[in-house]
Amino acid sequence: MSTFYRCTLELHDSLYFATREIGRLYETEPVLHNYALSYALGLVDSFQYNTLVAEKDAYRYFCAEQVPKYKEHLIPLNTQGIYVTPARAVSHATTLNTWKYADNRYHVEMQPTERNIPSFGRTKEISPESQFEFFIISERSLKLPRWIRLGKWASKAELIVEPLPNAKHHQTTEFMVSYLLNPLDVMVTNQVLSYDTVNMPPVSLIRNVRMVGEFYTFENIQGLKLPARMQYCFGN
């Protein structure tokens, strides 16, 4: 029987990653991708180190190449029976920051330049004390860290974990999920009828999903429905 955890993240620093770029504005959507959460929670590293495989391929202190290997890192979690959903904002605020830099090409090419042309950009970041909610499904008990780091600035966030008891399994029928889902991870085992899209790399997410399939509900938690048999899936 699977164990279900409801997780709350509270930011202690401002959080930044570029969900979209609008001219010189780099905006952070109040959404956390399940790929990023899987890495931040240490689930990928823990699997690799415990099985003594791909040690020099693990992203811990140094990355020799900037090529993501989501499939190679996350598919092994399926064999462990571990799955992390994307996170939605429960409450959040944003801040705008402006950064400036100078044209420093002469430092690279060692050539003199007559002008030093400044440039600038703006980042829209998620403010400290913002809170996010997501879920973890695991076939075994997990010991999760209290503190994790997220985003481009490795922002600090506190993790609060609540086990969800008395999960009830429902057979195939039509149901609605208001929480965020990764479409690649649910469309293999469920029929998705309609949804709203949240555009973000590397895989856009969906919410307000009407679908047909198996799902779980939980005692005394009204409105929470989680699709059954979710797992990390990737295209060829």
Give the pLDDT confidence of 134-179 residue by residue, as tens digits.
999 999 999 999 999 999 999 999 999 999 988 999 999 999 999 9
DSSP string, 23-42: TTEEE--SEE-HHHHHHHTT
Of residues 233, 231, 214, 220, the one with CA closest to residue 173: 214
Residue ranges per structural domain of the chain: 3-164
- Residue 56's pLDDT band (cuts 50, 70, 90): very low
* DSSP 8-state code for residue 140: S
Report CA torsion sign: 109, 111, 112, 113. Answer: negative
What whole-number distance in Å separates Cα of residue 153 and Cα of residue 160? 21
Give Cα 123 distance to the centre of its chain. Answer: 19
More confident residue, 210 or 48: 210
Question: What three-state secondary structure class fits 164?
Answer: strand
Of residues 163, 197, 193, 167, the one with CA closest to residue 181: 197
Given the DSSP bridges, would you call strands 131-138 and 87-91 parallel, antiparallel or unpaired?
antiparallel
Q: What is the mean pLDDT of the chain?
A: 87
What pLDDT, on the 0 to 100 scale, is given for residue 51?
A: 43
The most confident of the ranges 39-53, 132-146, 222-236 is 132-146
pLDDT reading at 102 higher than 70: no
